[in-house]
Structure 1
């Protein structure tokens, strides 16, 4: 058994010495960036012979364990009294409150660096300095202590000894993985058509540290065909973990099933599923404070025991498993799951954990990213999601409300909130709803920075009450606005919206997310983007940040076109025609139900249109019908789908592009027919027109990029609910006369090619 492990000084002392509670009374989510800037500011003022970011390493040997401890100390200062290890920390606390006992964890980290340097240079004693920088005032406080080599040696021996039992558990887990991954075979008797090619392409992509864009038909088994080769690639040097990213909860469950299948075949590695904080929180309200939540109170005193327990007894750490251990050890389930990402081989979660600049995992440092492969499922969804992630807005009335609510109490806050309101007022138009701006004025940016500073100092003292909560909302909107402003370039437009109520909203609108997606992906070892509907392929590869160097794979459907009866009904579904054609449309849908026995799902471009046809259908047809409701929670969604039983006769009405039009797996006789009403075009809007104009200027067909391709993707996804295996048969009815135009016929999948036209 390989007993060699490497750990950073920070991670080592954090595991052994962290204590206390989760307390998110108020924390800025720019702390990491602020901290880096403060470090650099201090380091700039070092003298000529001082060094910064000095790499240090030492190997400890304890009872068969070889632990290589390494890290970079912030500063190595050259003084008359000898070398000084300098550790820089930013703090929101008043500097007068801090003494040499305030932050034992910081001293532990600094002592770790000091020991390694003293051992390396054979020093009998060494000075250690903590440099505290007050975030708001930038004032500094330095606390200097001297330690003998013996003191530091004893401290580190005790620290390593404390960590050793946990290290042995991690070594045991690593040994299990290294033994079982090479022996793992594909967990099905044989590959389906196309599966072997997809699996081979994924493995080669990760091996060569490249990216892959793959269109693989619905039902081919994309999840197992990407996860299996990625797990086999864990044998490769330099690959330590896999992130399996999805847009929806239902596809996360498919990834969990694939891991379970491989587990049944002998695979032993650890996987964790990340669930959004507000969904997994045990409390009625998500307030992460020790006086409100028993799972936050004393979290760091109990978390090590919880991690050891779950690692020894579980391999798949799904939501229910995490909740069970979190209750047992009385720890916050969300923070628990995040802590488990550090020791898991496969992490399953939403796109935002990697791609959203607000919530991406800060613990994924650059060196870890280079040892991580991304598997991005249903990646056609990432285009629109990325647009949202990299856009931001602020509203005039938000600042006016802050000024009104704090008037007479917080003069500095009121003054700057007022100033921002006036800055935005200048752009208000009583005649035009939407306008474009050339740039964000410098004074507005400066005022927002001042607002953040004023709000921050106030919120750190007072977060109680609705007024403070509203201030916090405006604070985070402002912070997000400045964060996204850093990304603004030719891929953006500055959009102003003037409302009838007198509000003005300034939006940083990301037209083209390809650049930011490409920049994020390149920080990882490999990215595999796959979907059943990356069509047209060139469009999705471009929008997801693909380059000429990336691999592409376009797999044909493994199914025979005889399995699908595709019908095109050339009926107008345009908004102005809907009232007129509702009777004829209902008749055509009923004829499909009569002609093809079993269960059917009909998709509509809007709730209003769906409800109108549903009422007509209920009057017209004796067949049972159910309809998607607005804002369905997970339980209601599952109830809706559970009604589609094998051998049943049920018609479901749902919204195109909604929760039931993708990621839903109704195999066999649970679904026998699908109808898609309309071509999926989004309504014309100022934002869509900006996208259209932007791509026209780039020499692309802007109308297709803004409207046709995203709309047609919804159609293909909805149709993809039908054929999920080699045994499935059924009918697809496409209702719209535009489906017969050359543009749309070219976008239909090959296995829909044998369509018939219903006159």
Structure 2
């Protein structure tokens, strides 16, 4: 039996007939919504016998390979001259600029449908029509051509010849995966305590199309215990792809290492790691235009060769591998990595590629999502990240700046920006400093929409890549605001904030659970896992969990004797910090002298860190290193590199910062941790809104807003210490509130045998 590849008509012709350069001069981001509405409007004018959204498919066979081509045709019109295939396209261009040679990909798509319909109906000839609709004027232009069946047959043969080499690469990849996945064994000689249970739960969850919330303490090996069973589940029908999502670069590297271990055991599949555009860009400035960037110039003429090359020769498509092939083929590394997600079996990247409504991967169509499993690492981080993703704000003075730049009283941009400034000025007079609005006024929403239309005209007419940054940034801020408005229900508050002459209006998402649940629902399965999903009910609630979701809470795989936990009942409250700082520094010094080696001390703020550090540095026999604000990746790596085995170093860092999560200092590289304070965020207007919101819903609002997120930072920082079966060390928890029942109920089991340090 021949091997089979399935591809849509749109994907097929885009692969074969695309050409040209990446040119990210401004384009309207309303195209997709408008395009759908325009399709529906044109289809509503069809006659009774005309067909719309007609599914067509055809099986192309060649040298032991079957390629199933399928797609949904916009329209099949019945005319006195025979059937007409109608392909509808919306455009921002003026219609008189469009000719029969303007869009070869569009014609190819329509001809693909025409061939399949003519072959199905036994037609000797058929007409093909492109219906263009101008987005603003809604005027229509129809271009029509007639093709014989022989013409279309030659067209299809040429198209398939151009595509077949790539199809063979896809079949080669699939064959390797299908052969290696069933025989794949766990890459270690034995499972750690709890590891088999976690792996089995993940496999069962994906097999049954369910969701899982798992707390797996540090040391179990969460990454391999989720990736391995998810890959094994690919042998189950309808599991094609895994997205491994995480908040930090270091945990993406751990996922890459896990795939390497399985590859050593015989696994052969393709994984791609996504890196942010500004980090992977080869140019000094991220300007995606052919006259500035040679990697954007001719991208679509070169990309097919690059894809075939890398997919045939590589398996783990990490940042360095992607960069090497991007330079070889002179293509943009960021767009290259996104194109690779269409083929990769495992995609490793940030949460936003799936959950952020503004930047999520639009190429992940609904039919692909149903065959995709999500593995969400460090899931505790997703709560606050989701709040940010689903919130949006606009600032009054930004509109004043635009009105000033386009200062002519009759200029449309001046009028549009001034109208919004006036609307926001009126809102600012409704309260003092921080307050809540009952609704977003309809006239403001209309003004924002007019601003978008006016800004689009100005930005599209600009041909320079030094377009007004102020206008471009404000355009996207307004666009984001308008995208979030339809999501804003009773999980939101409309907040207003005044600071001096500035006024900010925000759509504030207090409870992201409903949007997270809706997003996860479209995928086959989602596994939310972390070392610290405590308390369990809070995180399941906040991450959109449902009653029928699986839950798993595993004990630590390590012996509690590996950790010496001390509670120092010293007040770290803001009002007491000055008077207790010297005693606190002495307690830290005692920890270092009683347990020689490297230690990391975590503080709730840089200011508090500096206060205590100024006392601690009087102990000249201890080498110290201090986290700086705004450290880049190089400086962060240099900081961690100083924690060497056999050292005697005291590191001062910020709780909840880059060094309190995802850092893996094994063995003698870290011998002790101290956490100063209970991690409470300062009281704020937004935190108080969250507190009120959950209190009104029968939860403990104070705990939801302050205690649980704060304690999670404490648990994460403490988790830096014991990373393997051979690690030993001390944890000092400095705050008298750690002795209260509320906080002790949140301690992990292996912290239960703490001692009180006087």
Shorter-normalised TM-score: what interval? over 0.9
Residue range with higher mean Cα deviation, 606-615 or 314-323: 606-615
Partner of 2:622: 623
* Pairing 1:333–2:349 present: no
* Pairing 1:347–2:322 present: no
CA contact (8 A) 1:430 1:498 kept: no
CA contact (8 A) 1:598 1:648 kept: yes
Partner of 2:551: 552
Partner of 1:72: 72
Partner of 2:138: 138
- Aligned-partner Cα distance in 2 for 1:345–1:15: 19
CA contact (8 A) 2:287 2:465 kept: no
Per-residue deviation, residues 492-536 of structure 1 (Å, max 9, x unmatched): 000001121x22111000000000000000000000000000000
Q: TM-score, with normalisation over the residues of structure 1?
A: 0.99
- Aligned-partner Cα distance in 1 for 2:468–2:113: 41
CA contact (8 A) 1:569 1:758 kept: yes
Unpaired segments of 5 or more residues in structure 2? none
* Pairing 1:525–2:524 present: yes
Partner of 1:459: 459
Per-residue deviation, residues 471-502 of structure 1 (Å, max 9, x unmatched): 011100000000000100010000001121x2
Partner of 1:586: 585
Partner of 1:724: 723
- Aligned-partner Cα distance in 2 for 1:361–1:2: 32
Partner of 2:414: 414
**Shift, 1:466, TM fit:** 5.9
Residue range with higher mean Cα deviation, 576-585 or 39-48: 39-48
Partner of 1:600: 599
Task: Give 3-state SS (helix, strand or coil) of 1:486's partner.
Answer: helix
Residue range with higher mean Cα deviation, 411-420 or 36-45: 36-45
Partner of 1:290: 290
Task: Give 3-state SS (helix, strand or coil) of 1:688's partner.
Answer: helix
Partner of 1:120: 120
Residue range with higher mean Cα deviation, 610-619 or 565-574: 610-619
When residues 339 and 467 of structure 1 are mapped into structure 2, their CA distance, relative to the original with a 3 A threshold, is closer
Task: Give 3-state SS (helix, strand or coil) of 2:487's partner.
Answer: coil
Residue range with higher mean Cα deviation, 351-360 or 46-55: 46-55
Partner of 1:168: 168
**Shift, 1:2, TM fit:** 4.8
Alignment of 1:212-223 (within 5 A): 212-223=212-223
Task: Give 3-state SS (helix, strand or coil) of 1:723's partner.
Answer: coil
- Aligned-partner Cα distance in 2 for 1:724–1:174: 36
Residue range with higher mean Cα deviation, 188-197 or 149-158: 149-158
Alpha-carbon RMSD across the aligned residues, in angstroms, is: 1.1
CA contact (8 A) 2:219 2:556 kept: no
Moved over 3 A (4+): 463-467
Partner of 1:378: 378
CA contact (8 A) 2:627 2:654 kept: yes
- Aligned-partner Cα distance in 1 for 2:467–2:739: 57
**Shift, 1:373, TM fit:** 0.2
When residues 109 and 689 of structure 1 are mapped into structure 2, their CA distance, relative to the original with a 3 A threshold, is same
- Aligned-partner Cα distance in 2 for 1:70–1:465: 39
* Pairing 1:661–2:656 present: no
**Shift, 1:169, TM fit:** 1.2
When residues 427 and 95 of structure 1 are mapped into structure 2, their CA distance, relative to the original with a 3 A threshold, is same
Partner of 2:706: 707
**Shift, 1:78, TM fit:** 2.0
- Aligned-partner Cα distance in 1 for 2:114–2:555: 61
* Pairing 1:512–2:511 present: yes
When residues 85 and 212 of structure 1 are mapped into structure 2, their CA distance, relative to the original with a 3 A threshold, is same
**Shift, 1:400, TM fit:** 1.2
When residues 467 and 181 of structure 1 are mapped into structure 2, their CA distance, relative to the original with a 3 A threshold, is closer
CA contact (8 A) 2:2 2:64 kept: no
**Shift, 1:47, TM fit:** 2.1
**Shift, 1:294, TM fit:** 0.3
CA contact (8 A) 1:62 1:161 kept: no
Residue range with higher mean Cα deviation, 31-40 or 343-352: 31-40
Partner of 2:230: 230
Partner of 2:59: 59
Residue range with higher mean Cα deviation, 404-413 or 602-611: 404-413
CA contact (8 A) 1:247 1:351 kept: yes
**Shift, 1:758, TM fit:** 1.1
- Aligned-partner Cα distance in 2 for 1:68–1:554: 45
Partner of 2:279: 279
Residue range with higher mean Cα deviation, 27-36 or 726-735: 27-36
Task: Give 3-state SS (helix, strand or coil) of 2:540's partner.
Answer: helix
Unpaired segments of 5 or more residues in structure 1? none
Alignment of 1:153-552 (within 5 A): 153-408=153-408, 411-429=411-429, 432-462=432-462, 464=464, 468-500=468-500, 502-552=501-551
